[in-house]
Amino acid sequence: MRTYAFVNQKGGVGKTTTAISLGAELGRRGIKVLIVDCDPQANATSCLGIEPGSVTEGAYDALIGRLPASDCVLHSPNLKLTLLPSSPALAGAQIELVSMAERESALQRALRPLSGHFDYILIDCPPSLGLLTVNSLVAAASGVIIPVQCEYLALEGLSQLMQTLQRVRSSLFPALAVRGMLLTMYDSRTRLSKEVADEVRGHFGDIVFKTVIPRNVRLAEAPSHGLPIAAYAPNSPGGIAYREFTEEVLEGDAAPTGKSAVRERANRLPGSETSAPLGDRDGVSHGA
């Protein structure tokens, strides 16, 4: 079982796109995936075809301990993944958590009973370093994946993020690891993209994934169809790149230095029979 959080305090760098693209690609391969939408803006939820305003039980309820997380998840048989959805109410959790004991580990506690049911738990973080992100970091037992947009000043934001990770290590979770940095929105027509990519690799070396995600209009279109790229345009440059990224993650996770991903077949989650299906999308291929 692996749990990764997708973090970067900058918005618009590809956290949500990476979380749902990896999740859907793993799901397509028969790997059991839970996507946790920990952002009150609920982009992962809407990118998967769920109207956040319609979510009455979601990450908020699990986080504040009002309901077990297993009662709040939605299953998508078509996309072969499970979502703990966000809703605007999640913004309130930041405030309610402040007065809770062990407030930084609320998400970890909420997700613990689910861990045996999934091979991968992928947590999509908000674009901030507040309490929801700290909860995601503490829950990210297998490390964080940091999408880095290939644009000017990318490194400046990363040093602030690295300091935050260090603070979480020294105060809450000493084992917090960086699983990798992923270069996103790479535009091969610009010199800037190449310069930023070289600079990030020069600075962070091996922790930068080999796969680079290109800027690709299909990735920008997919959310409006409520579909991940693996279903919307699997053979677009973006779809191919996220497939390669998935392979790189799986290979790394299976390497002898790390523990290999568990592929056991879990039972259906308690409460899953009563949960609404995730989205009502029909087939898988919606053009390329």
The nearest distance, CB 8 to Mg ion, in angstroms, is 9
Residue whose CB is less far from ligand ADP, 131 or 233: 233
Handedness of CA 269, 239, 226, 36 (dihedral sign): positive
Which of positions 18-47 make contact with Mg ion (CB under 5 A)? Answer: 43
Binding residues for ligand ADP, rule: CB under 6 A, are: 11-17, 43, 127, 184-185, 213, 215-216, 219-220, 223, 238
26 or 47: CB nearest ligand ADP = 47
**Closer residue to Mg ion (CB): 6 or 70:** 6
Sign of the four-CA dihedral 243, 248, 251, 254? negative
Structural contact between residues 9 and 160, judged by C-beta atoms closer than 8 angstroms: yes
Largest CA distance in the chain: 52
Separation between Cα atoms, residue 198 and residue 175, nearest integer Å:
28
- Minimum gap (Å) between residue 102 Cβ and Mg ion: 26
Q: Pick from 15, 32, 75, 179: which binds Mg ion (CB under 5 A)?
A: 15
* 75 contact choice in ligand ADP, Mg ion, none (CB below 5 to 8 Å, kind-dependent): none
| Residue from 16, 76, 82, 142 binding Mg ion (CB under 5 A) | 16
What minimum distance in Å lies between the beta carbon of 244 and Mg ion? 22
**For residue 221, which phi and psi values (nearest 5 degrees)?**
-80, -35
Contact partners, residue 118, CB within 8 Å, separation at least 6: 1, 32, 33, 34, 82, 266
Taken in order 41, 46, 48, 54, the sign of the CA dihedral is positive
Helix (H) or strand (E) holding 5: strand 2-6
For tokens 């049911």, the residue is: 117
Smallest gap from residue 237 Cβ to ligand ADP (A): 9
The least CB distance from residue 184 to ligand ADP, in Å, is 5
Instruction: Select 117 or 215, whichever has its Cβ closest to ligand ADP.
Output: 215
Residues at the contact surface with Mg ion, assessed by CB under 5 A: 15-16, 43
